[in-house]
Amino acid sequence: MPLLNRVSTCTRAIRSTGSSGVAKCSVSPVIRNYHVRPCGRVGSEPKSQSRAMSTSADSLVAFGQQHVTKGLGRLTEAVMTKGEGSYVTFEDGRRMLDFSSGIGVTNLGHCHPKVSKAAADQCMNIVHVQCSISFHGPYLRLIEKLLPIMPDPSLDSFFFWNSGSEAIEASLKMARQITGRQNIIAMQGGYHGRTFGAMAVTKSKTVYSEGSFPLMPGAFAIPFPYWHQLGLPINTSEEELVRLSLYQLELVLKQQTAPRDTAAIIVEPVLGEGGYVPAPASFLKGLRAVCDKHGILLIVDEVQSGFGRTGKYFNLEYSGVRPDILTIAKGLANGFPLSGVVSRKELTDKLVPGSMGGTYAGNAVSCAAAVAVANAFREEKVLDNVSARSSELLASLKSLRDDPDVGNMIVDIRGQGLMIAVEFASPLYPPSDPALVSSAPKNFASRVTKRCMEKGLLILTTSLYEVIRFIPPLNISQGDLQKGCQIFAESVKEVVREG
């Protein structure tokens, strides 16, 4: 369309200009009221192709279903419009208690005032400082805040990126460059992301990589010390689980990837998408010993378990194990996109300048938000709240398991801090699986989550198994936690009665 015609079209759309000098259009943009295209495209398509729509909740959902890629899955076909603390509000007016925290991201609840203010203030200073051009203040202040809380004092070299998957990509690249080796050993049940290298070391579900092969070469896997994966009874001792997993590691190093070809072992200290299974300290120590023996780097993925989620800043603090590379994200900036790769300066000094980077890596607004998060953790005694609420959550779940009407359907309660899982029995497991119970309801976990949503609680499933995960805000109140636990218990009992 010629420039003059575009100007004329836009002029016709303008109704008035307020005292602020901002034009007010008689037809609002799609992103605001959802019923026109940008001015440059008005009239450029036949009426039959119009995307005009009303602003009702149903119409917005229909619009999203039509135009958002099918590759994205959703818990609910609804439009979320507001978040405040432990609650979210939808376009249709529903207000729900949120035990998902954006999948473990909004650790301080939605729109924490100190974090939001820090980000807003930074927006009025400078938004984008490209990391290959110069340093910026929030980036350096964030390092200053993180150094004292690292799980090991050797972790003193930082690179900030945008997402957890990107942090994994960087960690794999660093491991290969630092060691001069290619292969990576991952864990069955581990989840590290959907990007190319992260997919190769993700072993929790095939959906994340299905149809994408060949993936990054050089990725191998061993069983995580989880009774399901080893085909053993749930009461198998921790010692035996660890022994078998480390034995499989020994075999992989002898049969599939020689130590001289192995750059790193990557592990989540608590499986996330794999079912919220904490790694025994003896297992992590065993991995550390193998890495030390063969000059292999230990990459610990604390993207989900880190930043207070399990009751300490980092889950590794429970075992005392030193990682060579630590990846962090999710709760780091309470919803602003930010991830980190932390290592030792003696290792990162081997990297070639320019080999790491990214247009938006370590964004100034996200870093400013993360500084405010670190301050809030300390000032508001968030870890103390995690400890108190964790005890109450576990007590509530164990009380439910003691209920004679539903207890035999609860296979396991596990986790640490406010990263807790409940696993149910299933009639659909293979005959060899100890959690097979023919009388259990089918699709138990997904049915419970759906019932919880009907009652006003957002909660998520995880893993191949019938598992529901609890990841509420770390500063959740006692009252809101009790409310959520009551909804969950009611939902479980109803699904059991329905069969």
My answer on whether 256 and 347 are in the same domain is yes
Residue 389 has pLDDT above 60, yes or no: yes
pLDDT in tens, 444-473: 999 999 999 999 999 999 999 999 999 999
Q: Which residues of 34-43 are buried (b: 16+ CB within 10 A; e: fewer)?
A: bbbbebeebe
Residues 288 and 251 sit within 8 Å (Cβ to Cβ): no
213 burial via Cβ count (<10 Å: 0-12, 13-18, 19+): exposed
Residue 436 is assigned to a structural domain of this protein: yes
Phi-psi region of 163 (alpha: psi -120 to 50; beta: other; left: phi over 0): beta
My answer on whether 159 and 24 are in the same domain is no
Domain boundary among 379, 408, 424: 379
Residue 108 is assigned to a structural domain of this protein: no
Residue 309 is assigned to a structural domain of this protein: yes
My answer on whether 340 and 276 are in the same domain is yes
Cα–Cα distance, 437 to 426 (Å, whole number)? 6
Token pair, residue 142, equals: 């964030």
Residue of higher predicted confidence among 51 and 307: 307
- Region 417-429 average pLDDT: 96
Residue 445 is assigned to a structural domain of this protein: yes
Give residue 11's Cα distance to chain centre.
45
pLDDT in tens, 88-127: 999 999 999 999 999 999 999 999 999 999 999 999 999 9
Residue 7 has pLDDT above 70, yes or no: no
Which single residue is written with the structure tokens 């917005």?
Answer: 60
Q: What is the domain count for the chain?
A: 3
Residue of higher predicted confidence among 32 and 322: 322
The pLDDT, as a whole number, for residue 55 is 63
The CATH number of the domain holding residue 287 is 3.40.640.10
Integer CA distances (angstroms), 414 to 25, 202, 260, in order: 55, 22, 37
Residues 101 and 460 sit within 8 Å (Cβ to Cβ): no
Please report how many Cα atoms fall inside a 13 Å half-sphere around the Cα of residue 305, on the Cβ side: 31
pLDDT in tens, 11-42: 333 333 333 333 333 333 333 343 333 333 33
pLDDT in tens, 184-233: 999 999 999 999 999 999 999 999 999 999 999 999 999 999 999 999 99
Of 397, 388, 414, the C-alpha closest to 476 is 388
The mean predicted confidence, pLDDT, of the chain is 90
My answer on whether 198 and 258 are in the same domain is yes
Integer CA distances (angstroms), 158 to 140, 145, 352, in order: 10, 12, 15
Integer CA distances (angstroms), 31 to 36, 67, 90, 159, 438, in order: 9, 13, 16, 33, 49
The most confident of the ranges 75-84, 292-301, 433-442 is 292-301
Residue 82 pairs with which residues in a beta bridge?
89
The pLDDT, as a whole number, for residue 54 is 53
Residue 115 is assigned to a structural domain of this protein: no
My answer on whether 193 and 264 are in the same domain is yes
pLDDT band (50, 70, 90) for residue 5:
very low
- Region 288-304 average pLDDT: 98
pLDDT in tens, 137-169: 999 999 999 999 999 999 999 999 999 999 999
Residues 313 and 378 sit within 8 Å (Cβ to Cβ): no
My answer on whether 357 and 386 are in the same domain is no
My answer on whether 222 and 163 are in the same domain is yes
Which single residue is written with the structure tokens 């005392």?
Answer: 320
Residue of higher predicted confidence among 9 and 317: 317
Domain boundary among 30, 52, 74: 52
Which single residue is written with the structure tokens 């550390």?
Answer: 288
pLDDT band (50, 70, 90) for residue 384:
very high
My answer on whether 407 and 279 are in the same domain is no
My answer on whether 392 and 248 are in the same domain is no
Residue 83 is assigned to a structural domain of this protein: no
Residues 482 and 86 sit within 8 Å (Cβ to Cβ): no
My answer on whether 153 and 296 are in the same domain is yes
Residue 73 is assigned to a structural domain of this protein: no
Residues 290 and 265 sit within 8 Å (Cβ to Cβ): yes
Integer CA distances (angstroms), 133 to 128, 355, 470, in order: 11, 14, 41
Cα–Cα distance, 58 to 49 (Å, whole number)? 20
Domain boundary among 346, 379, 412: 379
My answer on whether 490 and 474 are in the same domain is yes
The pLDDT, as a whole number, for residue 17 is 35
Whether the model clears a pTM of 0.85, i.e. scores above it, the answer is yes
The pLDDT, as a whole number, for residue 499 is 86
The CATH number of the domain holding residue 390 is 3.90.1150.10
Residue 86 is assigned to a structural domain of this protein: no
My answer on whether 398 and 375 are in the same domain is no
Domain that holds residue 39: 1-52
- Region 314-326 average pLDDT: 98
pLDDT band (50, 70, 90) for residue 76:
confident
Token pair, residue 138, equals: 């929030």
Percent of the chain's residues with pLDDT above 70: 89
